[in-house]
Amino acid sequence: MPASATNHRQNFAKALEIAALLLIISFIVLPIFWLALTAVKPQEKAYTTDILFRPTLDNFEIIFSDTSVLINEGTERERGEVGRDMLPNVVNSVVVSGATILTAIPLATLAAYAFSRYQFLGSGVLLIWILTTQFIPAIVVAIPFFTLFRAIELFGSPLLGSRLGLIIVNMSIILPYAIWMIKGFVDALPTEIEEAAFVDGCNDFQILFFISLPLIRPGVLVASVFAFIMSWNEFLFALIIGREMRTMQVALMTTSGARGIMWEQMAAAGMVVMAPIFVLALFIRKNVVDGLTMGAVK
């Protein structure tokens, strides 16, 4: 084959590859880019595919302001009439996700450490059982807890539609997940240091708290980030158990009114939902694959 033909073929392959890469990039980025763009679009431009406009923060202002005020003002932001103040929803999301990981992660860490470092009667079976709880469909968990929480009152209000109720139900997903994930990190830690500490006369708990925990802290942090993302993005429980105590995921639905969804508001609310997770996702970039498959793919 003459040299120039080979060159041509190589150039063609190269061009094809770059085209493929650009296609992949646009496939991935377009929905996020479009959402971000719509969030800062003025209302009259939101229902067009124009990309030239004067960016505005109006949409964020609307979703964080009390609608009754807007209606009373008789503003031209008529479309904003059913928009509502989403600050309480943000607070709900933060409190629920925060409390979920603050409860789940310490318990999961202790359990994961025990599963990794001790062999006790039934530990293998228990571990597999914990893994399989991950495959229970959320709706099966939601139905009995819905009826239970409807009947239980705490401090004069039913657990149904409360933050506590949602936190409890969230445990069914987060806790098993976190145990497996943290166990992966403990497994990866060599036992020599712990053995040395044992020889030096430390008891089990001294070893756990003063030797092991500080060493697995980075792993626990990664697991916490995952758990936070999972409970932040959780929708089914928030819808059925959280109900009127809307988290941000459910509050996205409140951007729709008589005239359908107000997309510019939905986009702004979407940015609020997405932004913190975006930042967190960057921290756990390298762990995502293990996090999704519990290390099954390697």
Binding to other proteins (CB under 8 A) within 155-214 occurs at 168-169, 171-172, 175-176, 179, 191, 194-195, 198, 204-205, 208
| Stretch touching other proteins by CB under 8 A, among 73-81, 83-91, 156-164, 275-283 | 275-283
Phi, psi at 144, each rounded to 5°: -65, -35
Site string for other proteins, 82-111 (x = CB under 8 A): -------------------------xx-xx
| Stretch touching other proteins by CB under 8 A, among 3-11, 42-50, 81-89, 155-163 | 42-50
d(CA 26, CA 33) in angstroms, rounded, equals: 9
Token digits for 216? 């697995």
140 vs 152, which CB is nearer to other proteins? 140
Task: Out of 1, 2, 48, 200, name the contact with other proteins by CB under 8 A.
Answer: 48
Instruction: For residue 143, state whether it binds other proteins (rule: CB under 8 A).
Output: yes
220 vs 250, which CB is nearer to other proteins? 250
Here the contacts of 166-169 (C-beta below 8 Å, separation 24 or greater) are 166/96, 166/237, 166/238, 166/241, 166/242, 166/245, 166/247, 167/96, 167/99, 167/100, 167/103, 169/141, 169/142, 169/145, 169/237, 169/241
d(CA 64, CA 211) in angstroms, rounded, equals: 47
| Stretch touching other proteins by CB under 8 A, among 28-36, 53-61, 67-75, 83-91 | 28-36
Instruction: For residue 258, state whether it binds other proteins (rule: CB under 8 A).
Output: no
User: Cβ atoms within 10 A of the Cβ of 142, count?
Assistant: 17
Task: Out of 6, 8, 12, 34, name the contact with other proteins by CB under 8 A.
Answer: 34
54 vs 286, which CB is nearer to other proteins? 286
| Stretch touching other proteins by CB under 8 A, among 58-66, 158-166, 210-218, 268-276 | 268-276
Instruction: For residue 285, state whether it binds other proteins (rule: CB under 8 A).
Output: yes
Task: Out of 7, 11, 18, 57, name the contact with other proteins by CB under 8 A.
Answer: 18
Token digits for 36? 């971000």
Token digits for 171? 């445990």
| Stretch touching other proteins by CB under 8 A, among 2-10, 81-89, 216-224, 234-242 | 234-242
Task: Out of 3, 5, 258, 297, name the contact with other proteins by CB under 8 A.
Answer: 297
